[in-house]
Amino acid sequence: MSTTKTKWNVNFKVYRKKGQNPSHYDQFTLEVDPDEYVLDAIERIWAFHDRSLTFRHACHHSTCGACGMLVNGVEKLSCITYIRDVVEDGGTLVIDPMRNFPVVSDLVVDMSLFFDRLEMVGQRQVVPVSDETIGDGKKAQSPTNGKEYLRLSDCIECGLCISACPIAATNPDYLGPAILAGAQQNGLDRKPELLQIVDQENGLWRCHSVYECTAVCPSNVDPAWRIMDLRRQVTAQRLKRLFR
Amino acid sequence: MSKPKAIIIGAGFTGVATAHDLALRGFDITVVDRGPIANGTSGRTHGLLHSGGRYAVNDKESAIECIEENTILRKIVPGVIEPNGGLFVAINESDMAYGEDFIEGCEACHIPIEELTPQQALRLEPNLNPNILAAFLVPDGTFDPLRLAMAFAATAKSNGAKFKLYTEVTGLILNGQGNVTGIKVWDRTNDERYEIYGDIVVNATGAWVGEITAMAGVDVPIRPTPGVMVAFDQRLTHHAINRLNKPGDGDIVLPQRQMVVVGTTSFEVQDLDYVPVIEDHVKLMLERGAELLPAIKNTNMRGAYMATRPLLGSGGSGRSISRTFKCFDHKETHGIDGLVTITGGKATTLRAMAEKTADVVCEKLNISAACTTKEVPLISYREFYRLPNNY
Amino acid sequence: MMSEPSRKSGISQAIRWFDPRGRDIGTIAFILNRITALGLTFYLFLHLIVLGQLAQGAEAYDGFLATIRSPIYIFGELLVIAAGLYHGLNGIRVGLTSFGIAVPQQKKLFYWLLAIAVLGSLIFGIRMFTA
């Protein structure tokens, strides 16, 4: 937070869509603190300028994954995106809903298929710490009773990776980075059916190595790495079966 | 025989838990909220699955509620909880003096604690302040706020509850006798306005309950009390870390995914719809958090936000008001039937708040149906989006 | 609930992969890979047509040789070589990373391979235009 409390004037062009009406952009000019987050400004637009604005948000600290949106065309988790990182004093921020999901209203998108697929691959939200944190391979456990520590996973199911993926843009049947990463996290050994689910043309092999998913992920998931790792695992398994 | 219809205003913790309870008791439920699930206080809660240790000295009623509900939630919805326990640590003499009362209080409230030597505590959590004087292990935990709410909502939905999100209540519908028979709503997704009728309206809007009751000319003693939370970019602890002293500012640090979150402060506001982050409060969190986990000073700040507690007023400052909850039957308070308000409470006690509310509702409608939510496991929170008819 | 299909049709979505604004270097690599692929395919197509015509005898062949000595054609061939170098080298990167090798280094790998492709194209260019 700045000590001199500088205030900027920033223009917000926000995507609007209601019902069957065509979409358009509404302009709002706000006085903002550059150290604030984009979500703060959007909330103020709703609170003080236009109560009809709909947007998703809950935790305001990157654990719920609800507030994903496009900020000047780039996927961002708006609650942890500093205004100073995306615009300057007097500049314009264009706010759009995430790509590759059907729009429900304004910045709210329909994520039912996304969650359906996540459930299908069984991405685990609560995992042993050592499973999730790619680290020294040691088990994180209580030294007193040996119980493994659990934690909420890196993936917050925000959907930004799906929005950024050009393959997901052209092929809605592609499972997508978050789902494939979730499959890798769950593990082929934990859920053998995953082999069929991911080893198909709209699964692992549809990825074209663009790496945009990892670039936009706000939560250390590195989906691209997980997709490639899963490919390695799947190939190894298939080869093993071939030579059995 | 048609099911009794309940309208629940508010899809935060209280609303979704009540929807879950009443759905199991055979009600036809419609939940409305002007925003998405948990978009108010509930989404921004610190996320502490309270052992009750924090209230064991000054608010034993809350403490007992907490430890009971903590145990239940671990059983019915483990899929959203980091269950690694918590530590109460003493940094100075004032903290040490509190220790005696703490031990007594926890025992009186049946909160299982274990005293550790500073060395043991530091082995457990190497990032703790190396100068701690004492430590107690408690069964705290961290939960994901949105997913906890979604798990209740999903289960309610699977039992027939309907959710109308982004739908704002613009007025209560009163009949000739001045009793509430429904709500007027504005669906913000398509700008449609319509009415929903029911046998009972449950006002579960937390800090905003006064705004809803005002629509019937009624007031409730709610004292909205926000506080700041600051998230930092490293998981410095697996346990919840609490300051061993009476509740104060910035005395809790929680792990959550790859972060730690320090909270909180306490002040009163009038305008609930937007509470700006106060820089001094953020600085205070940094300082106080660093007293518990010094490495916070070298960790990047990831987020800062305000959450407004729904405190029930009746004298006393924010911290000394009881953190327990109350269900108001407005037939009793103001002669207006068809409306109950449930507010106060803490996230950890959401199920208990719902049970009490559902009991009141059933009694009012002469329905005998017992609460089963202590035993019924919640379904996957993802089902909320998978089940049809929702955003 | 009211959900409508993704905002745009398949064609405009497909063209959107062309847009590097706001995207990271991986997308640039991907876009160039696709463009060079299209270019090389087009070149192959041209090549086959030309061969077909050359099958018509020695005169056609001599005439063809005369044409392709002009700078425009040499430049065109340089483009083909550059495209081939880029596509082949990036292809190695994609092939390696596709099976989990060197994934964390994929950006660095791209820059190095791009440098080699550019260098190679320069060398060929110089040789072709000074021959």
What domains does chain B contain, in order, with CATH numbers? 5-42+146-221+323-386 (3.50.50.60), 48-143+223-312 (3.30.9.10)
Identify which of A111, A218, A45, C8 has the alpha carbon closest to the alpha carbon of residue B303.
A218
Distance from CA of A23 to the nearest CA of C (A): 10
The CB density around residue B92, as the number of other CB atoms within 10 Å, is: 14
| Per-residue pLDDT band at A12 (split at 50, 70, 90) | very high
pLDDT for the residue C1: 32
Nearest chain A residue to B45 by CA: give it.
A59
The mean pLDDT value for B343-369 works out to 96
How many Å apart are CA C49 and CA C55, to the nearest integer? Answer: 10
Contact check, Cβ <8 Å, B388/C1: yes
Top residue of A61, A101, A126 to mutate, by most chain B CBs within 10 Å, is A61
Distance from CA of C47 to the nearest CA of A (A): 28
Do A26 and A16 form a contact (C-beta atoms < 8 A)?
Answer: yes
| Per-residue pLDDT band at C6 (split at 50, 70, 90) | very low
pLDDT, tens digit (0-9, with 9 covering 90-100), for B238-260: 999 999 999 999 999 999 999 99
How many Å apart are CA A225 and CA A236, to the nearest integer? Answer: 17
How many Å apart are CA A40 and CA B351, to the nearest integer? Answer: 31
pLDDT for the residue A4: 58
- Tell me the chain A residues in contact with residue C5 when contact means C-beta distances shorter than 8 Å: 102
Do B21 and B371 form a contact (C-beta atoms < 8 A)?
Answer: yes
Hey, where are the domains in chain C? 25-130
How many Å apart are CA A240 and CA B147, to the nearest integer? Answer: 39
pTM for the model: 0.94
Give kind and range of the element (H or E) at residue C43.
Answer: helix C25-54
User: What mean pLDDT, rounded, does chain C reach?
Assistant: 86
Does A120 lie at the interface with B, CB-CB under 8 angstroms? no
pLDDT, tens digit (0-9, with 9 covering 90-100), for B69-105: 999 999 999 999 999 999 999 999 999 999 999 999 9
pLDDT, tens digit (0-9, with 9 covering 90-100), for A158-190: 999 999 999 999 899 999 999 999 999 999 999
pLDDT, tens digit (0-9, with 9 covering 90-100), for A185-242: 999 999 999 999 999 999 999 999 999 999 999 999 999 999 999 999 999 999 998 8
Residues 6+ apart with CB under 8 A from B352: B65, B68, B69, B325, B345
Please give the interface size between B and C, counted as residue pairs whose CB atoms are below 8 Å apart: 6
How many Å apart are CA A133 and CA A135, to the nearest integer? Answer: 6
| Per-residue pLDDT band at C9 (split at 50, 70, 90) | low
pLDDT of B185 higher than 60: yes
Hey, where are the domains in chain A? 8-109, 112-126+154-242
| Per-residue pLDDT band at B318 (split at 50, 70, 90) | low
- Tell me the chain A residues in contact with residue B190 when contact means C-beta distances shorter than 8 Å: 18-19, 105
A115: nearest CB among B283, B305, B382: B382
Distance from CA of C104 to the nearest CA of B (A): 20
Tokens of B81: 């909880």
How many Å apart are CA B282 and CA B263, to the nearest integer? Answer: 9
Identify which of A174, A225, A182 has the alpha carbon closest to the alpha carbon of residue A204.
A174
What fold is seen in the domain A112-126+154-242? Fumarate Reductase Iron-sulfur Protein; Chain B, domain 2 (1.10.1060)
What percentage of chain B carries pLDDT values higher than 90?
Answer: 93
pLDDT for the residue C57: 79
- In what side-by-side order are the strands of the sheet with B81-82? B48-49, B141-143, B81-82
DSSP secondary structure letters along A94-124: EEEPPTTS-EEETTEE--HHHHHHHHHHT--
Residues 6+ apart with CB under 8 A from B134: B89, B90, B95, B96, B99, B115, B118, B244
DSSP secondary structure letters along B82-140: E---EEEEE-SHHHHHHHHHHHHHHHHTT---EEE-HHHHHHH-TTS-TT--EEEEE--
- Tell me the chain C residues in contact with residue A212 when contact means C-beta distances shorter than 8 Å: 23-24, 26-27
- Tell me the chain C residues in contact with residue A103 when contact means C-beta distances shorter than 8 Å: 3-4, 7
User: What mean pLDDT, rounded, does chain B reach?
Assistant: 94
The mean pLDDT value for B14-29 works out to 98
The mean pLDDT value for A60-65 works out to 97
The highest-level CATH class for domain C25-130 is mainly alpha
Contact check, Cβ <8 Å, B382/A116: yes
pLDDT for the residue A2: 47
The mean pLDDT value for B157-182 works out to 97
How many Å apart are CA B46 and CA B57, to the nearest integer? Answer: 21
Tokens of C44: 């192959």
Q: What is the CA radius of gyration of chain A?
A: 20
pLDDT of B269 higher than 90: no
Top residue of A59, A82, A150 to mutate, by most chain B CBs within 10 Å, is A59
How many Å apart are CA B333 and CA C62, to the nearest integer? Answer: 105
> CB-based burial of residue A165 (10 Å sphere; 0-12 exposed, 13-18 middle, 19+ buried)?
buried
How many Å apart are CA B26 and CA B5, to the nearest integer? Answer: 9
Taking any CB pair shorter than 8 Å as contact, residues of chain C touching chain B are: 1-2
The mean pLDDT value for B47-63 works out to 94
pLDDT, tens digit (0-9, with 9 covering 90-100), for C11-54: 776 677 788 888 999 999 999 999 999 999 999 998 898 888 88
Residue with tokens 């029911």: B198
The superfamily (CATH) of domain A8-109 is Beta-grasp domain (3.10.20.30)
Residue with tokens 């080869």: A239
Does B81 lie at the interface with A, CB-CB under 8 angstroms? yes
Q: Which amino acid does the sequence have at B285?
A: M
Do B164 and B390 form a contact (C-beta atoms < 8 A)?
Answer: no
How many Å apart are CA A126 and CA B80, to the nearest integer? Answer: 7
The CB density around residue C46, as the number of other CB atoms within 10 Å, is: 12
pLDDT, tens digit (0-9, with 9 covering 90-100), for C50-96: 888 888 777 877 777 888 888 888 899 999 999 999 999 999 999 99
Task: For strands B48-49 and B141-143, give the pairing.
Answer: antiparallel
pLDDT for the residue C60: 78
C-alpha dihedral over B352, B356, B357, B358, to 10 degrees? Answer: 100
Contact check, Cβ <8 Å, C1/B190: no
Q: Which amino acid does the sequence have at A154?
A: D
Do B9 and B205 form a contact (C-beta atoms < 8 A)?
Answer: yes
> CB-based burial of residue B2 (10 Å sphere; 0-12 exposed, 13-18 middle, 19+ buried)?
exposed
Top residue of C8, C21, C24 to mutate, by most chain A CBs within 10 Å, is C24
Any chains having at least 3 CB pairs less than 8 A from chain A are: B, C
How many Å apart are CA A168 and CA C104, to the nearest integer? Answer: 22
CA geometry: angle at C61 spanning C56 and C67, to 5°?
A: 130
pLDDT for the residue B319: 60
C-alpha dihedral over C25, C31, C32, C33, to 10 degrees? Answer: 110
Residues 6+ apart with CB under 8 A from B346: B50, B62, B66, B323
The mean pLDDT value for A40-59 works out to 98
